[in-house]
Amino acid sequence: MDRPLPDIERLRPAGGKRSSKRDRILSTFVRQEGHLSADDLCDLVRKEDPGIGRATVYRTLQWMVGAGIARKVDFGEGRSRFEPSYRHPRHFHFVCNTCHRSSEFLSSDIESFVEEIALARSFTPAQTVVQITGTCEECRTGRASAPVDGATTALVFARDALRVAIATERSGLEFYTRAAGLTSDARGRSVFQKLAGEEREHLGTLEKRYAELVAQDPLLESRPTFLFFKGAAHGIFAEGTETLGRGVDDQQALLIGIKCERRSHKFFKRYGERFEDSEGKQIFLEFADEEKVHLDLLIHEYRALGERLGSPKPARRAHGKAHRPVHARRRESSARTR
């Protein structure tokens, strides 16, 4: 598969000399699976153009690291390897002890686990390196799986981002369909029906986009999974649907919807913002926006329903001044003494 290189013109340092040698080294590097040692890159470049010296390749590699095009990785072999970092999402590695090839993945569950522990230890993490060594499928069974190389990484990433978005949309559709069936308040019911309709429409759009993506690469569906977003992939709304099944009133149904949309919006926004520029990033950010619209609508409806019922938060309204929580009164009096 031959895809155009990303804006190499822009990658050149300001005032940097146009160098066809540098361009050739750069394009050889970006087209590879990544994780090349400097010697690997030398061999590849010199196969195409024996006129390029080793020193030039090493120099260019250093420049690429400085310019944010390449990232240095250490697989414990006593020498560094280099992988493309420009528009390449951060990731973890499986490294095969036999063939020394590596494959990449990203797991939101590992990341949030690490964040949770770091928070508990008051540690500010700068970088998480996860490297798992072992034996790859090909070395173990002789069966080669479809590779993910420099040309296909972006497609695989977009494919997985779409899969996560589609799973979320599906679980949302199920949730709103169920909620519409359960809600007795006519206006509340029509809101759930409207949202179910929107989820169905978005689902259609996402599936079409997925089909277009797959059409770009006949092997795309068989390439290994890159994004492991277990929680989201199982559907952020699945838990909410389960709660609905246990029996809830109209207000509770809306609250569960709000909780799910908020979680979904936060999840897609947070990851979308952290990803490198890519179609996968776009997919996440667009999805986050859609979820925000749903969230706002639900919050609005929750308030409106509360007003129709006459007491949105009975617990608070019932309490007079004398019954306000002690900490609230304490805060007031300390404010007065200041």
Least distance CB 71 / Zn ion (angstroms): 8
Read off φ and ψ for residue 75, nearest 5 degrees.
-100, 20
DSSP 59-112: HHHHHHHHTTSEEEEE-SSSSEEEEE-TT----EEEEETTT--EEEEEEHHHHH
State the nearest-atom distance from the C-beta of 153 to Zn ion, in Å: 9
CB 65 within 8 A of CB 13: no
- Closer residue to Zn ion, CB minimum distance, 12 or 31: 31
Say how far apart CA 106 and CA 156 lie, in whole Å. 12
Least distance in angstroms from the C-beta of 98 to Zn ion: 4
Query: Phi/psi at 14 (nearest 5 deg)?
Result: -55, 130
Per DSSP, 134 falls in state E
Cβ proximity to Zn ion: between 36 and 57 the closer is 36
In whole angstroms, the minimum distance from the beta carbon of 138 to Zn ion comes to: 5
- Gap between the Cα atoms of 62 and 120, Å rounded: 37
Smallest gap from residue 190 Cβ to Zn ion (A): 49
At a CB cut-off of 8 Å and minimum separation 6, what does 125 contact? 114, 115, 118
- How many residues form the binding site for Zn ion (CB under 5 A)? 7
Q: Which of residues 68-107 bind Zn ion (CB under 5 A)?
A: 83, 96, 98-99, 104
Neighbours of 27 (CB within 10 A): 14
Site for Zn ion in 122-161 (CB under 5 A): 136, 139
Cβ proximity to Zn ion: between 98 and 216 the closer is 98
C-beta closer to Zn ion: residue 66 or 134: 134
Is 59 or 90 the residue whose CB approaches Zn ion more closely?
90
Residues that bind Zn ion (CB under 5 A): 83, 96, 98-99, 104, 136, 139
